[in-house]
Amino acid sequence: MRYILFFILPALLLAKVHYAKVEPYEGVILKSAVSAQVMNVDLSAEGKMIADAEIIHLDDRLDKADLAASGKSLGFLKNMLEINREIVESLADALKRQRGYYERLNKLSTASKTQKDTAFVAFVSAKNQYLSTREKIETLKKQILDMEYKIERLKDSIDKKNIRLKERYLYKLAVRAGDFVNPGSPLATVQDLSRGKLTLFLEPSELKDVRSKKVFIDGKETQYRVDKVWQVADEKFISSYRIEIYVKKPENYFSKLVKVELK
């Protein structure tokens, strides 16, 4: 009698085949942080890798005028502060002398009450003038701090109205010259092409030791490993869990479809 033996391979040796596109490592939508009119858009930059260039310019003319005026105002305030510091030094000397004069006169029995009262009034007046100048100095310090903050805020606003890219791919522009944007309005879609990313959706049974599994792409073993695993099921593929594998930048184009196996 002949016996036919069936060998059942362990489930771990059977890797499910997945297909994924080689996508850019990261993609973000740049949004406006301010309200302003779009003055200029570099339409020729769309679909290109930008080394370092401005792609969108929002209206910042009033900000720049305000910044120039605020810079001058800050200079005036600092000059006034220095002047009042010199004044308070002189007043301190005058107050010291007036106090000494009053105290000496007040001890003299030969001095009349009128003389003592006059010296006291002069002393109080000198003290009030000294304290008033000290108060003015503190007020100027506060005004300088406020002006410095305003200048930094204006610089920040100007920076946010000049949208520059450095070593990023400009995928799509969302505005044109003449448009008016508010905070949160989309300006452009930008991608990081420094490396690629494969996104897969695995069944729960495939997640066991998934980080230690070897990654095969188009049938060839690679040195890649699973880089990121979601612990919560995907919103769209509700019975699957998202994972990401980061790969080298493609030699030609992104979005190529590849076969991925995890063994």
Q: Which residues pair with 205 in a beta bridge?
A: none
Q: Is the pLDDT of residue 254 over 50?
A: yes
Say what the pLDDT of residue 14 is.
56
The answer to whether residues 195 and 231 touch, using CB atoms and an 8 Å cutoff, is: no
Within 10 angstroms of residue 63's Cβ, the number of other Cβ atoms is: 21
What is the reported pTM? 0.75
The answer to whether residues 225 and 215 touch, using CB atoms and an 8 Å cutoff, is: yes
Percent of the chain residues past pLDDT 90, beyond the cut: 73
Structural tokens at position 95: 């107050």
Q: What is the CATH number of domain 11-59+163-262?
A: 2.40.50.100
Say what the pLDDT of residue 101 is.
81
Query: 98 to each of 124, 126, 135, 259, how far by Cα in Å?
Result: 9, 7, 20, 94
Q: Is the pLDDT of residue 133 over 80?
A: yes
The answer to whether residues 180 and 37 touch, using CB atoms and an 8 Å cutoff, is: yes
162 phi and psi angles, rounded to 5 deg: -120, 95
Say what the pLDDT of residue 7 is.
43
Q: Is the pLDDT of residue 121 over 80?
A: yes
Tell me the range of 70-79, 229-238, 244-253 where mean pLDDT is highest.
70-79
> CA nearest 213: which of 8, 18, 9, 1?
18
Torsion angle of the four alpha carbons 127, 130, 136, 141, in this order, in degrees rounded to the nearest 10:
-120
Q: Domain spans of the chain?
A: 11-59+163-262, 61-160
- CB-based contacts of 184: which residues, under 8 Å, 6+ apart? 31, 32
Q: Is the pLDDT of residue 164 over 60?
A: yes
61-160 and 11-59+163-262 share a CATH fold: no
Structural tokens at position 207: 């997640």
- 107 vs 40, higher pLDDT: 40
Q: Is the pLDDT of residue 56 over 90?
A: yes
Q: Where are the beta strands (DSSP E) in 203-236?
A: 215-217, 220-221, 228-229
Say what the pLDDT of residue 15 is.
67
- CB-based contacts of 26: which residues, under 8 Å, 6+ apart? 191, 192, 197
Amino acid identity at 139: T
What digits encode the pLDDT tens for the residues 220-240? 999 999 999 999 998 888 889
Q: Is the pLDDT of residue 13 over 70?
A: no
Q: Is the pLDDT of residue 9 over 70?
A: no
Q: Is the pLDDT of residue 5 over 80?
A: no
What is the distance in angstroms between the CA of the first residue and the CA of the last residue of the chain? 39
Mean pLDDT of all residues in the chain?
Answer: 90
Of the listed ranges 103-107, 126-130, 172-176, 219-223, the one predicted with least confidence: 103-107
CATH class of 61-160: mainly alpha
Residue 102: band (very low, low, confident or very high) from pLDDT cuts 50, 70, 90: confident
Q: Give the three-class secondary structure for 164.
A: strand
Say what the pLDDT of residue 109 is.
79
113-160 and 61-107 are packed helices; what angle lies between their axes, rounded to 10 degrees? Answer: 160
The answer to whether residues 2 and 154 touch, using CB atoms and an 8 Å cutoff, is: no
Q: Which residues pair with 261 in a beta bridge?
A: 17, 216
